[in-house]
Amino acid sequence: MKHTQTPILGLMQKSVQVKPEEAQALLWSFSYFFALLCSYYIVRPMRDEMGILGGVENLQWLFTGTLLAMTAAIPLFGWVSSHFPRRQFLPYVYLFFIGTLLLFYAMMNEHTVSVTIARVFFIWASVFNLFVVSVFWSFMTDIYSNSQARRLFGFIAAGGTLGALTGPAITSLLVEPIGPRNLLLISALFLSWAILGIIKLSRWSFTGTTPRTAAIKETEELPIGGSIWDGIRLVIRSPYLLGICLLMILFTTLATFLYLMQAQIVRDAFSDSVQRTALFANIDLAVNALTLVLQLFLTSRLIKWFGLPIVLALIPVLLAIGFILLGLVPSVAILIFVQVTRRAGNYAIMRPAREMLYVVLSKQEKYKAKNVIDTVVYRAGDAVSAWIYSGMRALGISISGIAFIAVPLALLWAWVAYKLGAKQQELADTNHQE
């Protein structure tokens, strides 16, 4: 099939090595991730504010509650994915979260939010973020080949970053005129677009010109099968997946340390709820602006120049340097600088590279095992590290001291990331994946 060169295709090819037959799917993937993260980032500043309303001293309990909620959700997701084909169960996930957004809208008051609802919303938003993003990347690793992933995942991630820029901008502009409660309806509207993206991309993967056999296409219309606990079993039996678990735990431990530092600093610096919400939104804007530039012009090139192992290890090494600086000069400015650098580096470089680890795996591993790692393992790391942080603070360890403790953890994270990147290349060669 001949594809006509269009201005949009020409513009895309300047920043990413996209083939004409991939362009339509790439744009749908881009817009799907844009809508998904726009939806989340509209409510993310609200989540951070709800965490403060629920009590900064209780954040470790909220992380524990999130872990319990994730653990309860895994069997349900396992059952749905076992009994319905991909094109059906993926929209069900998003319809569930749209319904809960509308439920929170009905329960919230225009002017005040109870402590109970604040805590429930914090837990729900934390589950929402990980679940919908995990499902998105499972879908991407399923419809794109290994060579496509290396070329296109950076650009697809940029769609999410653009959404992550738009979401907090909407919140910052509208939180005062219309109030936080009405932002939930806007979030639900963007989330609805994700369902359309699933429909379009499922059709492309089934009828497109990608190198797929008739047998593979047929399996895409069937349920994944297996039991609701397959995800856990697959993780336990695979050294490769266990390595990804360790990677995730180290990542979330260091991220949680920085998040709890941020919560303490913002609570002490600002007394007004609206000011804090706006500040969180502006931090998100700064992070995502930097991320977008990196994703559009650097991510795919870094992987091409240096290979997946080095790219995976890059951000942990930079974070180790950041923690050293924070330990030497534990100021507000340094803390924010390290946080912005870590988050932008994760979204622009680490996250797309990490998702490539799954491209070489089976469909059950891409959906079930990946979902366990992205949700339960992730939030287990959150909860445990939150309690560790709380314990260190109770023992009188300063932020500077915690920063120095984090340095060897960041270096261990870099080593694990490098080894996993090398293993992915080995598996891709063994499976003869493009």
Nearest 5°: phi and psi at 145?
A: -80, 175
What CATH number was assigned to the domain covering residues 19-430? 1.20.1250.20
Mean pLDDT computed over 251-264: 82
Q: Which amino acid is residue 377, in one-letter code?
A: V
Does the pLDDT of residue 157 top 90, yes or no?
A: no
Pure H helices in 84-114: 86-107
Show the 3-state SS of 116-154: HHHHHHHHHHHHHHHHHHHHHHHHHHHHCCHHHHHHHHH
pLDDT at 2: 46
Most distant pair of Cα atoms in the chain: their distance: 68
Q: For 312-323, write each residue's pLDDT tens digit.
A: 888 899 989 988
Nearest 5°: phi and psi at 225?
A: 85, -175
Question: Residue 290 and residue 298: Cα distance in Å, rounded?
Answer: 11
pLDDT at 408: 92
| Closest alpha carbon to 37 in 107, 109, 137 | 137
- Residue ranges of the domains in the chain? 19-430
Residue pointed to by tokens 């469909």: 363
Burial call 406-422: b when 16+ CB within 10 Å, e when fewer: bbebbbebbebbbbbbe
Q: For 355-365, write each residue's pLDDT tens digit.
A: 888 877 776 77
HSE-up (13 A, CA, CB side) for residue 94: 29
Residue pointed to by tokens 């005062």: 176
HSE-up (13 A, CA, CB side) for residue 314: 22
**Tokens standing for residue 411:** 């270096």
Q: For 365-407, write each residue's pLDDT tens digit.
A: 777 777 778 777 877 787 788 888 888 888 888 878 888 888 9
- Mean pLDDT over each residue of the chain, to the nearest integer: 77
CA 409 to chain CA centroid, Å, is 21
* Cβ partners under 8 Å of residue 275, min gap 6: none
Mean pLDDT computed over 68-78: 68
Tell which wins on pLDDT, 181 or 328. Answer: 328
CA geometry: angle 148, 151, 155, nearest 5 deg: 110
Does the pLDDT of residue 309 top 50, yes or no?
A: yes
CA 326 to chain CA centroid, Å, is 25
pLDDT at 235: 80
pLDDT band at 410 (very low <50, low <70, confident <90, very high): very high
Nearest 5°: phi and psi at 223?
A: -60, 155
CA 84 to chain CA centroid, Å, is 24
Does the pLDDT of residue 34 top 90, yes or no?
A: yes
Question: Residue 356 and residue 149: Cα distance in Å, rounded?
Answer: 7
pLDDT at 119: 78
DSSP class of 337: H
**Integer CA distances (angstroms), 434 to 144, 147, 339, in order:** 10, 5, 36
Question: Residue 247 and residue 235: Cα distance in Å, rounded?
Answer: 13
Tell which wins on pLDDT, 217 or 99. Answer: 99
pLDDT band at 201 (very low <50, low <70, confident <90, very high): confident
Does the pLDDT of residue 281 top 90, yes or no?
A: no
Does the pLDDT of residue 215 top 50, yes or no?
A: no
Burial call 291-314: b when 16+ CB within 10 Å, e when fewer: bbebbbeebbebbeeeebbbbbbb
Question: Residue 122 and residue 59: Cα distance in Å, rounded?
Answer: 10
| Closest alpha carbon to 286 in 351, 354, 347, 350 | 347
Does the pLDDT of residue 226 top 50, yes or no?
A: no
Q: Report CA dihedral (304, 308, 313, 314) to the nearest 10 degrees.
A: 20
Does the pLDDT of residue 18 top 50, yes or no?
A: yes
8 Å CB contact between 88 and 7:
no
Q: Which amino acid is residue 208, in one-letter code?
A: G
**Among the ranges given (35-49, 251-265, 365-379), the one the predictor scored with the smallest mean pLDDT:** 365-379
Mean pLDDT computed over 161-190: 83
| Closest alpha carbon to 195 in 126, 93, 73, 43 | 93
| Closest alpha carbon to 263 in 420, 122, 85 | 122
Tell which wins on pLDDT, 334 or 88. Answer: 334
DSSP-assigned letters across all residues of 250-304:
HHHHHHHHHHHHHHHHHHHH---HHHHHHHHHHHHHHHHHHHHHHHHHTHHHHHH
CA 69 to chain CA centroid, Å, is 18
Does the pLDDT of residue 214 top 50, yes or no?
A: no
